[in-house]
Amino acid sequence: MQILTSRWSNVGRVMQLALEGVAGATLFALMLLTTADVVGRYFFNLPILGTVELTQQMLAAVVFLSLPVACWREEHVSVDLLDAIFPARWIWLRQMIVNLIIAVALWVIATRVWALGVRAFEWGDVTEFLRIPDGYLIYLIAIMLFLSALLTLGRAVSYLLEGVGVIKCGGPVSQGDKHD
């Protein structure tokens, strides 16, 4: 079981580095674009055409490329109203149920977003100024939502395995040793 856990941990690290790397590169490009646009606009009276559309597209990409990592690491915004009264020995059950609910919600949203991507391509939707097809970004968002749903489901399974004693720590909220 240790070898299997180690391999999944390595796959998770590679996926995390890839997604964070692409999101980071997109954020850096967004920063460069904004800087060049501001300098061009205020010092040379030459703004970069289409900056608003590119900024919107890149911002959406950064957010949704980061979502799967946030889901796997359980870095969501959360309110701990029940933590003080919830027994520590049942945390795995609570986390499993919460992760299952989130996974289902992400999957439902992803299927709806995918349908929007299909419709965007069928109708030929493009951005207003640069004429960039909207469907590509919508598909990226849907794929990242599907991946987030699968990773959240995986986290729910790991909490279940923790609860039945197969593994020591199912996730960042576990009472056992932290593994992420």
pLDDT digits (tens, 9 = 90+) for 127-161: 999 999 999 999 999 999 999 999 999 999 999 99
Residue with tokens 């980071």: 24
pLDDT tens for 51-74 read 999 999 999 999 999 999 999 888
Q: Using CA atoms, how far apart are residues 60 and 66, in angstroms rounded to an integer? A: 10
Amino acid in the structure at residue 72: W
Query: pLDDT value at position 5?
Result: 53
Query: Which backbone phi and psi does 126 adopt, to 5 degrees?
Result: -135, 165
pLDDT tens for 83-104 read 788 888 888 899 999 999 999 9
pTM, two decimals, is 0.87
Q: Using CA atoms, how far apart are residues 70 and 38, in angstroms rounded to an integer? A: 32
Query: pLDDT value at position 87?
Result: 84
Mean pLDDT is lowest, of 20-34, 45-59, 69-83, 112-126, for 69-83
Q: Using CA atoms, how far apart are residues 135 and 117, in angstroms rounded to an integer? A: 5
Q: How confident is the model at residue 6 (pLDDT cuts 50, 70, 90)?
A: low
Query: pLDDT value at position 44?
Result: 93
Amino acid in the structure at residue 100: L
Query: pLDDT value at position 180?
Result: 43
